[in-house]
Copies of this chain bind each other. A is one copy, B any other.
Amino acid sequence: MSQYRTFTAADAVEYAKRFGGVDDPSALVGAEEIGDGNLNLVFKIFDNQGRSRIIVKQALPYVRCVGESWPLTLDRARIEAETLIEHYKHCPQHTVKVTHYDAELAVMVMEDLSSHRIWRGELVKGAWYPEAARQLGEYLAQTLFHTSDFYLHPHRKKAEVARFINPELCEITEDLFFNDPYIDHERNRYPAALEDLVVGLSHDDELKIAVAGLKHRFFAHAEALLHGDIHSGSIFVADGSLKAIDAEFGYFGPIGFDVGTALGNLLINYCGLPGLLAPREAAEGRELRLNDVRDVWLAFGERFLALAAEKTTDVALAYPGYAQAFLRKVWVDTLGYCGTELIRRTVGMSHVADMKNISDDAMRTECIRSAITLGKTLIIAAPHIEDIDALIARVRQNG
């Protein structure tokens, strides 16, 4: 019987030897803890040649940055491993490979991606990966289509919904996305100069009603097995390669939530670039980012419709034209959730390097301002933004 205990580096090496699935387990000799997150230990396991070979990740029973006062379910390790395994089935080329997991130890072993880099870091530096956006669209389409009612047998779908019930992690999203930024909350963090703008959010009827609708759909619309946190910090990239990681927020929710989170993080980078790069590089980078936004949506939509045409198993949902009608609803959700991601990353507690790394205070404030106003526009105008071109026009208009 395995019982939960926090791993030391030596524990992680022993575990990797037993469950890492490497050909030469005795060659594994060392571990480095590389977790920069708040919730987990992440060990990179090295062999006797100093090469990193495999990753051992263990969930902590509390939120690391806060300490033991904020306990958090260990079941998230099971959810994460099972979400990644499920997504890998449908999109192995863009999902990190999990080779073993143990629910009681809250630990999993997965492929080492040392040849890759976290996409957010690359975006912040102005590095462009020309295939990444279309690959992300492909990941979203494959994973979300194959776990939706279009594809799963209704009995299987219902069992899967029950398997991925994830109350504690969902609650974090429910609070941080949909509550905090729209009320006066101690977790919020934003420049003092934006006080009026932020206070205005909490009094804007149209915005608050739209955000309530987005939260309600997050609660109730079990459309597909989401990644649940697919921002640019949960994505590894390399030349011609993209891999999603960190799926502990996995659960059955609205498809537009994942797509909107993905687009929102590209747009945060768009808003931050003027503060991160020299003017000419920033301008070029922003055009590339808009191109990425277009590519993610078009790759997602095209592949989703192609899969629907080929592989829909439900006789009613297979009727010609229905998948297009559904995709239209996903688009409206996507815009709304994209807006909430922009706002929760700038007003709420979960800030990102795209803004934090801007050294000039006044510039950072202006970049944050533009992310907030864009987020607000998208949430309110979602039903009236016809297509990807109209979205890009709105982004340019926002400045």
Residues of A at the B interface (CB closer than 8 Å) are: 149, 154-155, 157-159, 161-162, 165-168, 170-171, 174, 178-179, 182-183, 205, 208-209, 211-213, 215-216, 219-223, 314-317, 319-322, 325-326
Q: Which of A167, A219, A222, A321 is the most central at the interface, judged by chain B CB atoms within 10 Å of its CB? A: A219
Which residues of chain B come closer than 8 Å to A158, judged between CB atoms?
Answer: 165-167, 170
CB contact between A154 and one of B162, B167, B322, B326 (< 8 Å): that residue: B167
For residue A220, which residues in chain B have a CB less than 8 angstroms away from its CB?
149, 221-223
Cβ-defined partner of A208 (8 Å) among B170, B183, B219, B319? B319
- Smallest Cβ-Cβ distance to A208: which chain B residue: B319
A319 touches B209 (CB 8 A): yes
In the bound complex, residues from chain B placing their C-beta under 8 Å from that of A321 are: 205, 209
Quick one: which of B162, B208, B211, B314 contacts A162, CB cutoff 8 A?
B162
- Chain B residues with CB below 8 A from A215, complex form: 314, 316-317
Residues on the B chain within 8 Å of A205, using CB: 319-321
Given contacts A162-B162, A221-B221, A216 and B319 within 8 Å (CB-CB): no
In the bound complex, residues from chain B placing their C-beta under 8 Å from that of A166 are 158
Copies of this chain assembled into the complex: 2
Q: Which residue of B lies closest to A212 (CB)?
A: B322
Closest chain-B Cβ to A379's Cβ sits at a distance in Å of: 12
Contact A154 B315 (CB under 8 A): no
- Complex Cα spacing A77 to B320, Å: 38
Interchain CA distance A221-B213 in the complex, whole Å: 13
Interchain nearest-CB distance for A344 vs B (Å): 13
Task: Please provide the 9 A-B residue pairs with the shortest distance between their CB atoms, ordered closest to farther.
Answer: A212-B322, A155-B167, A149-B219, A162-B162, A208-B319, A215-B316, A212-B316, A158-B167, A158-B165
Residues of B within 8 A of A208 (CB): 316, 319, 322
A211 to B321, CA, bound (A): 12
Q: How far is the CB of A193 from chain B (nearest CB, A)?
A: 27
Contact call B213/A315, Cβ cutoff below 8 A: no
A213 & B165 in contact (Cβ 8 Å cutoff): no
Q: List the B side residues contacting A159 at CB < 8 Å.
A: 165, 167
Let me know if B209 and A315 touch, CB within 8 A. Answer: no
Q: Which residues of B contact A155 (CB under 8 A)?
A: 167-168, 171
A154 to B155, CA, bound (A): 24
User: In the complex, A157→B222 CA distance in Å?
Assistant: 13
Which residues of the partner chain B approach A167 to less than 8 Å between Cβ atoms?
154-155, 158-159
- Bound complex: CA of A179 vs CA of B318, how far in Å? 11
Known: A155-B168, A221-B221, A221-B222. 11 other contacts (CB 8 A): A154-B171, A154-B219, A155-B167, A158-B165, A162-B165, A205-B320, A208-B316, A209-B321, A209-B325, A213-B325, A215-B314
CB-nearest residue of chain B relative to A149? Answer: B219
Q: CA A208 – CA B171 in complex, angstroms?
A: 37
